[in-house]
Chains A and B, each alone.
Chain A
């Protein structure tokens, strides 16, 4: 998507009130679908379907919609889909007592969960009657106790649109009681929020320009006290703070004097955004593309996980040319449009926020000090001792299901099999007597890193099969991989005894570090093709690795 297309599409797709005419005019390249979204419904979905394509295209998603026939019984025939949408109008069961309706619908949803591991999105009931409230309470309760399910909150859209949410007069023609405005808004939520978050990859960092992006004015000309924080910019800065609470890195990428920028954040106490919330600073007169690349290296994340926000078309175009994989936001209209875009930007807001997300920025900021310690230490052992590393291992941490799925989905460099298991698949490792999940947590004297890795394994005869092994890039570079994996496997073997360990591995675009580690750890050849390595477990060697580790180790809840 060119910079000009980004601006044009942005103003239409993130508008406060959507226009079908403006949406249908957006016509970009349509790549072949790579995902299937199955829609089970009992009323018209066509108005949503006809508007959803531009939202998905903007999100970089190529998905095919498989819309089922009208089915009030919701029989959910067997199917293969990457995402399941249940588009239900509860009003069609108005003659049923609400207890019967919720009990029946609960059985139907459980039936769907039983035939698919895909994420399920179910519409709630719009309106404010007692019946609606009870339906939504039942739905919320089921969602809280089921893996990988989410409510499409039509009730929120109804609150926003008011009486215009419904259009009963045209329901005979459209097949739905929902108005066109309601359907367009549902298309936006599905296309920008639900489907991108389910398919990924997620954005990990927002690179921010300063002048006329976070405030009105030019720092170099107006000075720190001359730039203006409008109400819209204040709201935008507050939204950015919300992002840091979700574990998203903020990086300042600005053409300014570093001293001016430091003084700006020191002196402007009215700025909600504080210097300590910024994970990395790239303030120079050099190219912003280079700044993003340097920040990516510092934060140990890939450039394609960045979202770049700038009010300058030239800068956006330049970054787009140099780093085509970086996503762009045009910071127009005095902060208001930027706020509206970021609030709903696809793949930016995680569905689940773990404790680790809240620790991420402080952990990243400690990396500079860690690197200094590493450069001064005579060897790796001294380095680890100086850091005071503590590792905690947790066996089958059922309450960390979402974080286990997140690690599987997000890790790239140290992800051995790239299976990227869904929460439903991970549930099997947490509950099956022949399977185990181990989560690793790390802290040192500089910062708490939270959960940094996981192993999902199962027993197959006298072999322990490691189906998934992930270590966050935040934990790499501290020579801890051998120790983490060895301790985790020893813990699993204590419950699932086996003679050898089989590591499944896949070749991915970025997981060379994991494959190299496997080769070094096992001393076995790891070819350039996906496969598995059978490693006869050497208990004596494992004991030595653990005993020699200059770190503190414990098992239990973190």
Chain B
């Protein structure tokens, strides 16, 4: 399951950040100029539609990296 989540997160980040992102690669929101607040929402909504999950507002606000995205998705899929 984690492999699939890694792939989905990598694909979304590649598209939104407009650069190649490998599955499992650590990408920090703080270090990506393109990862602004608008794209953050786009990333979250894309993740939700890809995995058919829903994040709560706190989770959306706290996500700060590709790793956070994978972790929160994994928790949601397991619940």
Contact = CB atoms under 8 A, between A and B. Distances in A.
Interface string A18-47: 011110110100000000000000000011
A24 B15 CA distance: 7
B15 A47 contact: no
Contacts of B11: 25
B60 A173 contact: yes
Given A24-B12, A25-B11, A173 B41 contact: yes
A47 B41 contact: yes
Interface in B23-61: 37-38, 41-42, 45-50, 57, 60-61
Contacts of B61: 173
A46 B36 CA distance: 13
Contacts of A170: 57, 60
B16 interface: yes
Given A46-B38, A174-B41, A20 B49 contact: yes
A169 B60 CA distance: 12
A50 interface: yes
Instruction: Choose among A19, A20, A47, A174 the residue with the greatest number of B CB atoms under 10 Å from its CB.
Output: A20
A180 interface: yes
B23 to A, nearest CB: 15
Nearest to A18: B49
Nearest to B61: A173
Contact of B49 (A21, A27, A173): A21
Q: Interface extent on B, as a size class?
A: 10 to 19
B45 A47 contact: yes
B50 A19 contact: yes
A180 B57 contact: no
A21 B38 contact: no
A258 B57 CA distance: 63
A47 B37 CA distance: 12
Contacts of A47: 41-42, 45
Nearest to B38: A46
Contact of B12 (A21, A27, A169): A21
Nearest to B55: A170
Contacts of B15: 24-25, 27
Interface string B49-79: 1100000010011000000000000000000
B45 A180 contact: yes
A169 B57 CA distance: 8
B42 A50 contact: yes
A253 B41 CA distance: 47
A485 to B, nearest CB: 55
B8 interface: yes
A172 B49 CA distance: 20
A369 to B, nearest CB: 56
Contacts of A25: 11, 15
A145 to B, nearest CB: 38
7 contacts: A20-B42, A24-B42, A25-B15, A173-B57, A174-B41, A180-B45, A180-B48
Given A21-B50, A25-B11, 4 more contacts: A20-B42, A21-B49, A24-B15, A24-B46
Interface of A: 19-22, 24-25, 27, 46-47, 50, 169-170, 172-174, 180
